[in-house]
């Protein structure tokens, strides 16, 4: 008698869920305990490769588990949650963009959505942005797949989407009321022109990460202010950091900005950033700030120093001044677009010392010239000697 047939369905479903979610944590041909797979797992050819399960790969994942025996099939078909994750990140390997197979992914996705029932959807989709002569075909298939998913947009809860312009145009047409369940969005877009459109339909997201590394000389920011009261974590990677001008996030807790060192963007960063904080009224709620190649170190110092005259902590006494901008800032990461010299580092340490009276405890400063470290290492050691303070340069 096959012992797996007497296991409770709920236990089988839990095992399957762990298998699907932990694939990338295991080594090829070995179990987490170092042993080789045996029994049914070896029979059906599950090699425990570190690659994740692609939803359209009929030779892997749930499609194979459900063919082992009737008990396993019942376990896979009776769980909506097992089918609620759609992963399409290896389109080349799966060949879903060949002309002869263009209908197959549509049929597979239709079946997946049917089996997931009304469960919240977790989607990780990577459609080619530039694929040369195959662009027309890939855009057509990508758009058909996205149309199917959009019909279920009221179930979207978590999404990681890399897509060409045609997909983002469709995304921007989804009514915000249909995306009220969406809590997390990771977006890579081919043009900065989509940044504000995406923000405009994702009013309920808690965690938003948008990346647009491509320069667009025709980018113009529309004159809008979009309120995002649910937003807690915002991450923008783009030469066009001024997208902040369109957002108001009153309860924002974490902000990460990557500016790709565009000098024109840096010139306006200080005013854009301060206006965003004031417009959002999030100065008290923001506790984590990561700035990578977005502004000159002098702007950083001017924005975050508490006073114009900074006391040195030679005796490790804490200043009584309280910062007016982000008084509850706890974690700060900064990478200068250039190479910081010893003079710059000392000025940054002045700023850090001025905020120790507040909540600042964790700091990372990057891209530093190591030639004159003796000019600031003593101060760094003194600051790191304070309770709960951790500074890395």
Model pLDDT for residues 331-341, shown as the tens digit of each residue: 999 998 889 99
Residues 6+ apart with CB under 8 A from 226: 196, 199, 200, 203, 246, 247, 248
- Cα 42 to Cα 30, 65, 67, 117: the distances in Å are 11, 12, 14, 31
Non-local (6+) Cβ contacts of 2 within 8 A are 69, 71
Rounded CA separation 198/189 (Å): 10
- The token pair at 19 is 């298998």
* Element counts in the chain: helices (H) and strands (E): 13, 13
What pLDDT sits at residue 38? 37
Task: Give the pair of three-digit tokens for residue 13.
Answer: 């479903």
- In 3-state terms, what secondary structure has residue 59? coil
How far, in Å, CA of 306 to CA of 310, rounded?
A: 8
For the question of whether the overall pTM of this predicted structure is more than 0.75, the answer is yes
Contact 333, 364 (CB under 8 A): yes
Residue 76 DSSP SS3: helix
CA distance 77 to 58: 15
Give the length of the chain. 393
Burial profile 172-209: b = 16 or more Cβ within 10 angstroms, e = fewer = eebeeebbeebbbbbbbbbbbbbbbbbbbbbbbbebbb
* Distance from C-alpha of 164 to C-alpha of 143, rounded to nearest angstrom: 9
Are the beta carbons of 121 and 86 closer than 8 angstroms? Answer: yes
User: What is the pLDDT, as a whole number, of residue 19?
Assistant: 74
pLDDT at position 35, please?
Answer: 41
Residues of the chain under the 70 pLDDT cut:
1-2, 4-5, 23-51, 91-102, 130-139, 214-223, 260-267, 306-323
């Amino acid at each position: 008698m096959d012992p797996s047939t007497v296991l409770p369905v709920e236990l089988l479903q839990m095992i399957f869920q762990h298998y699907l979610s932990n694939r990338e944590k295991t080594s090829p041909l070995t179990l987490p305990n170092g042993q080789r797979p045996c029994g049914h797992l070896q029979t059906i050819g599950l090699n425990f490769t570190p690659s994740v399960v692609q939803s359209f790969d009929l030779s892997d994942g749930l499609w194979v588990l459900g063919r082992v025996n009737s008990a396993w099939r019942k376990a896979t078909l009776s769980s909506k949650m097992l089918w609620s994750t759609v992963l399409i990140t290896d389109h080349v390997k799966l060949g879903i963009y060949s002309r002869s197979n263009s209908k197959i992914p549509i049929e597979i996705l239709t079946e997946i959505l049917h089996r997931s029932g009304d469960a919240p959807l977790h989607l990780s989709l990577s459609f080619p942005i530039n694929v040369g002569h195959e662009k027309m075909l890939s855009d057509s298939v990508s758009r058909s797949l996205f149309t199917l998913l959009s019909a279920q947009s009221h179930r979207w809860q978590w999404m990681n989407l890399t897509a060409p312009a045609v997909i983002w145009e469709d995304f921007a047409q989804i009514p915000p009321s249909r995306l009220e369940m969406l809590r997390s969005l990771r977006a890579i877009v081919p043009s900065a022109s989509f940044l504000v459109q995406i923000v405009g339909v994702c009013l309920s997201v808690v965690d938003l990460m948008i990346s647009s590394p491509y320069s667009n000389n025709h980018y113009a920011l529309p004159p809008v202010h979009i309120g995002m009261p649910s937003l807690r974590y915002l991450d923008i990677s783009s030469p066009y950091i001024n997208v902040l001008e369109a957002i108001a996030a009153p309860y924002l807790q974490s902000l990460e900005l990557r500016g790709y060192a565009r000098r024109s963007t840096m010139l306006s960063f200080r005013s854009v950033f301060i206006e965003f904080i004031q417009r959002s009224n999030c100065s008290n709620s923001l506790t984590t700030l990561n700035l990578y190649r977005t502004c000159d170190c002098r702007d950083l110092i001017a924005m975050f120093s508490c006073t114009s005259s900074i006391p040195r902590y030679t005796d490790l006494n804490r200043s009584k001044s309280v910062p007016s901008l982000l008084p509850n800032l706890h974690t700060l990461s900064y990478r200068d677009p250039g190479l910081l010299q010893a003079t710059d580092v000392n000025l940054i340490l002045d700023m850090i010392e001025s905020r120790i009276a507040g909540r600042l405890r964790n700091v990372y400063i990057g891209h530093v010239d190591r030639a004159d470290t003796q000019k600031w290492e003593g101060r760094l050691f003194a600051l790191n000697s304070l309770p709960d303070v951790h500074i890395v340069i």
